[in-house]
Amino acid sequence: MNPVLREHQTAKPLKLGLLGSPLKHSLSPVLHHTALEQLSSIGQYLLHEVSREWLPLLIDQLEAEGYRGLNVTIPYKMDVMPFLDEISETARHAGAVNTIIFGKNNTRYGENTDVTGFLKSLPQSFLADAHKQSVMLIGAGGSARGVLLALLKAGGCGVQSVTIISRNIEKSKNLVRQLEQVAADPACKTRFISKELQKLTVDDFKNKTALFNSTPVGMWPDCSGIPISEACIAQLHPDALVYDLIYRPLQTQLLSVADKYCLTTMNGLDMLLYQGIASLEHWLGQPIPERAISASRQAMLTALNSE
């Protein structure tokens, strides 16, 4: 018998899970169970929907039960940070954790794989001209932070500019201040602007080359929502990329309107895939082969199309 396969079969079952609320929409179990099957690994990935006041107690409980790690999603990517012993530089710069690794360096360790997942999902055409990209980002929460840090790294020197749109102007201004400290490296040329959602005009969108939505507006079950008006979308550059981090549904109202103007569109499925694979690599301590990645993506698409 192959010694690697024997090791997988005799090892204790891997315990993994996801913290957040709500979680009924999550495809993470499909992703991870498929990848583990491809690796001949015995394990389970469970959803743990929890209220904010019970969050630290649940983390304690799952660690005591022998969990190897946890993913963290809306709305707790920032909330979990005080309950961790050590946080990676990427997570610290992003100001958010989406992956907890129990036992790394004998600690409760926090990582952010949203940055890796988002960067890997971006089209090569966008990355090749990153220094020319003038970007609009809707949202200033935990997911937005991972996206912003990735945009600082895109193409090696970051995008040209990012306008952060939020309902809470103080929240976006605070995020800008944090990012400007991260972007102090002379190699980084990115300029940050904060805008209040209620005070946006269509002119703010004129000739912008990319629009990213990191809010849950338009996500299942309220699929009718759209985070900005069609008039704003119409002002984007004709070759603009419109990227909605939502993956359920695959075609949000935002993407449908963008399609109407023949813009390049992307949903959040590939970001989910690549951030999840990066988390699994941290938990297993090994790279995940392409066959497992492809199988996980297909399984998620099948699950979505069967609904």
Q: What is the DSSP letter of 288?
A: P
Q: Give me the sign of the Cα torsion angle 115, 121, 127, 132.
A: negative
Please say if 12 is a catalytic residue. no
3-state secondary structure of 210: strand
Structural contact between residues 279 and 113, judged by C-beta atoms closer than 8 angstroms: yes
Candidates 12, 15, 24, 77; catalytic one: 77
Which two structure tokens, joined as six digits, stand for 4? 């690697």
Number of alpha carbons in the 13 Å side-chain half-sphere of residue 246: 28
Rounded distance between C-alpha atoms, residue 55 and residue 73, angstroms: 12
With both helix axes pointing from N to C terminus, report the angle between 28-38 and 290-305 in degrees, rounded to the nearest 10.
140
Q: In degrees, to the nearest 5, what angle opens at C-alpha 248 toward C-alphas 146 and 207?
A: 60
* The two structure tokens encoding residue 128: 């090749």
Inter-residue contact 296 to 31 (CB < 8 Å): yes
List the structure tokens of 226.
């759209």
Q: CA 288 → CA 29, 122, 266, distances in Å?
A: 16, 20, 24
Indicate which residues carry an active-site annotation.
77
